[in-house]
Amino acid sequence: MPEALRQAIRGTADDIATLLRSAPGTTAAVPGSKWTIGEAAAHLAMANDLMADLAAGRERPYGDGTPQSLAPANARALAAFGERGAQPLAAMITEQADAFLAAVDRAAADPAASGATGTATDAGTSADPMLITPLGPMNRAVLASYLLTHMLGHGYDLARALRRPHMIDGDRVGLCIPFMLSVMPRVADPAAVVRRTASYCVRLRGGGTVFGVDLADGRVVVTEERPERPDCTILIDPVAFLLIALGRRDPWRAMARGQVFARGRKPWLGPRFPALFVAP
């Protein structure tokens, strides 16, 4: 796992804990969500615990592996977990982030004892085997990117609820890309991609992140390189990219602010791109 990703996971957990420790209470609503601050923080604490167990090679069924199953699974988990206090939840979030990193280190030191199951694929090798996660099979490096992405999304929510600066920046977004690319085909909206053919190139401003997304015959294929002849190239601010992908920012508002530009042979395909996916 890249050292930058390790530092981002620990730093994001610490940033979220700092937010919670400054909270005057946890009963206020999170903007744009049905959860309170306490419920969002409880979800983060439980999710970090889940991720730490997965990284250790323990099986933890959560939903049925589809994005649609996550909301009911979250509701059941929250109903069974009573803690809503800011201080204890802040401690749990950081402790479980550290437990995740420790589990990754143990697996790297002794792959034979990692407990992972499944078959190696393009996303993993025999030295970094696949783990079954709430959003499909991933190796530990992609799982780490998943953990960071999840914390940044809910950390952003908590920052908004507490009227504090959020912790998302371009460097951290870049570390979310391995997870984002792995999960995009899984979260594509079947109704939006059926009978649609298009080739997109997506470039994040201010960095070297470029990837391709091809639609054909109801399938979504994501590549870690620029397509040869994309129909539409999207140039987007990295923070806006993550927030739109996680359903936290309206894409039209981002375009109005100059955070997103589309060009190419079919630039009108750009505004349609976010609607091809459903945030889990």
Does position 21 have pLDDT exceeding 80, yes or no? yes
Arithmetic mean of pLDDT, 164-186 = 96
Q: How far is CA 31 from CA 42, 60, 90, 193, in A?
A: 16, 30, 20, 30
- The 8-class DSSP code of residue 138 comes to E
Both 81 and 158 in a single domain? Answer: yes
* 81 and 209, same domain (yes or no): no
pLDDT in tens, 93-145: 999 999 999 999 999 888 766 655 544 444 444 456 799 999 999 999 999 99
Same domain as 174, residue 45: yes
pLDDT score recorded for residue 127: 57
Mean pLDDT of 48-75: 93
Convert the pLDDT of each residue in 177-200 to its tens digit: 999 999 999 999 999 999 899 999
Q: Which domain range does residue 147 map to?
A: 3-182
Same domain, 21 and 60: yes
Question: How many helices (H) and strands (E) are present in the chain, helices listed first?
Answer: 9, 7
For 214-241, how does the pLDDT look when each residue is reduced to its tens digit (9 = 90+)?
999 889 999 998 889 999 999 999 999 9
Residues 22 and 150 placed together within one structural domain of the fold:
yes
List the CATH number of the domain containing 27.
1.20.120
**Cα separation of 223 and 211, whole Å?**
6
Q: What is the mean pLDDT of the chain?
A: 92
Question: The domain that contains 268 carries what CATH number?
Answer: 3.30.1050.10
Q: Give the pLDDT confidence score for residue 115 in this predicted structure.
A: 59
Percent of the chain exceeding pLDDT 70 equals 94
65-84 burial, b for 16+ CB within 10 Å, e for fewer? eebeebeeebeeebeeeeeb
Same-domain pairing of 110 and 235: no
Pair 245, 262 in one domain: yes
Stated pTM of the model: 0.93
